[in-house]
Amino acid sequence: MEEVILIRYGELNTKGKNRKIFIDRLEGNIKKKLSSYPDLEIRAYRDRMYLYFKEYEVNKILDNIKDVFGIQSFSLAKKINNDYQNIEDEIMNIIDFSLYQTFKVITKRGDKNYPLISDEINRKIAHRILKDTTLKVDVHNYDLGINIDIRAGYAYVFFDKIKGAGGYPVGISGKGLLMLSGGIDSPVAGYLSMKRGVKIECLHFASPPYTSQKALNKVLQLASKYLNYVDEVIVHNVNLTDLQLLINKNVDSSYSMTILRRMMYRIAHRLCELRDIEVIINGESIAQVASQTLQSIVVINEVTNRPIIRPCACLDKLEIIEQAKKIDTYTTSILPYEDCCTIFLPPNPSTNPKLKRVLINEERFDYEKELDKCLEHYETITINKDNVNEILHIDEDLF
């Protein structure tokens, strides 16, 4: 008897003729995720995948699979010969019935030529269990669910369905540039977009020496959390110091935040062009702060025609925090290091900026030259499993 991991697809099922592309991508992503297990074998079919493993610790493999997007659920299954008597005998052998009180048999017959229909199999197996053990049937509240999946030549028997990460395989939906601050919202925004199959690159703005190496490390630490879902994370670190100083010197203070954010979007827009990335993603949430009122968003958004995906737009802060805790970014996000948005925070940022006045303010300095500079000198850091420790320990006593 062989053990195999049975993987059920998520929303891929609705994807018609694109299904093969989705399945191939999922297979590739699973292989990457499990690259430290070179002897694994994946057999992918229209409706599910089977993952064959050698003498590895199966629990670790199952743990890894939990974070792969595009999987609805998975099970550790016994693969056996599908002769009816064999199925019945194996079930009686495999299960330690002393652990349970109630059961239900759930048969699915993928092989429509099989001589017995599902209901007959359910009844026959149940009959045998009732005869040989003290268990009772309870179809609503059972503590042992015996799933039998009949396929041509084989049957798969499993007991638990483990919930998968859902969503689409990362990479299937194109690329997004995630504006990643050290805050709570943007790491969640990145996670939610990856879950929809978007491959992300991160863009971080730093303003040294006003923002510290510790603040940057915090961002890299947050980005590294994405290694649970992808095999590498790219972070572009753009130095915004000179631009910020110019904004502060030249712009009406109530408009400095609006204009700073327009500059950020301009840089993000250009980086998308340079890196062949379709959309910008950020952690904005409607009305959370002055720059995120709908009126501010209109004026800030005006500098780019790239779609801006805001996965947190309609979530309450508490909902975002809940999600951040789930993906283990929260405790890092609340470390108290400064962000370039907070260092020169004006006392009275406008919640209802007017485009005309923004444009007048922007004419007061040569921001194009500064944008060019930002894009000539940015630094790109690629984090993967091999270098993550080295990258996060630039300063040993950071966290």
Where do contacts with ligand ATP occur on this chain (CB under 6 A)? 179-181, 183-186, 203-205, 282-284, 288-289, 339-341
C-alpha 331/C-alpha 133 separation (Å) is 49
Judged by beta carbon distances under 5 to 8 A according to partner kind, the member of ligand ATP, Mg ion, none in contact with residue 340 is: ligand ATP
- Residue among 169 and 190 whose Cβ is closer to Mg ion: 190
- Residue among 33 and 204 whose Cβ is closer to ligand ATP: 204
C-alpha 199/C-alpha 65 separation (Å) is 18
CB of 179 to ligand ATP, least distance (A): 3
Judged by beta carbon distances under 5 to 8 A according to partner kind, the member of Mg ion, ligand ATP, none in contact with residue 268 is: none
Judged by beta carbon distances under 5 to 8 A according to partner kind, the member of ligand ATP, Mg ion, none in contact with residue 339 is: ligand ATP
CB of 68 to ligand ATP, least distance (A): 25
Structure tokens at 49: 């995948």
Helix axes 317-326, 185-195, angle to 10 degrees: 70
- Residue among 27 and 201 whose Cβ is closer to ligand ATP: 201
CB of 128 to ligand ATP, least distance (A): 57
CB of 309 to ligand ATP, least distance (A): 11
Length of the chain: 399
Judged by beta carbon distances under 5 to 8 A according to partner kind, the member of ligand ATP, Mg ion, none in contact with residue 181 is: ligand ATP
Judged by beta carbon distances under 5 to 8 A according to partner kind, the member of Mg ion, ligand ATP, none in contact with residue 362 is: none
Judged by beta carbon distances under 5 to 8 A according to partner kind, the member of ligand ATP, Mg ion, none in contact with residue 42 is: none
Rg over CA atoms, the chain: 27
Residue nearest to ligand ATP (CB): 183
Q: Is 304 exposed, middle or buried (0-12, 13-18, 19+ CB in 10 A)?
A: middle
Q: Is 211 exposed, middle or buried (0-12, 13-18, 19+ CB in 10 A)?
A: buried
CB of 379 to ligand ATP, least distance (A): 13
DSSP string over 263-305: HHHHHHHHHHHHHT--EEE----TTSSGGGSHHHHHHHHTT--
CB of 189 to ligand ATP, least distance (A): 6
CA angle 332, 337, 341 (to 5 degrees): 110
DSSP string over 19-50: HHHHHHHHHHHHHHHTTT-TT-EEEE-SSEEE
Judged by beta carbon distances under 5 to 8 A according to partner kind, the member of ligand ATP, Mg ion, none in contact with residue 90 is: none
CB of 284 to Mg ion, least distance (A): 7
- Beta strands 144-150; 2-9: pairing state: unpaired
Residues 6+ apart with CB under 8 A from 328: 225
- Residue among 289 and 375 whose Cβ is closer to Mg ion: 289
- Residue among 177 and 180 whose Cβ is closer to Mg ion: 180
CA distances from 101 to 92, 133, 140 (A): 15, 10, 13
- Residue among 171 and 183 whose Cβ is closer to ligand ATP: 183
Judged by beta carbon distances under 5 to 8 A according to partner kind, the member of ligand ATP, Mg ion, none in contact with residue 177 is: none
Residues that bind Mg ion (CB under 5 A): 185
Residue with tokens 């084989």: 154
CB of 114 to Mg ion, least distance (A): 56
Residue 280, Cβ neighbours under 10 Å: how many? 23
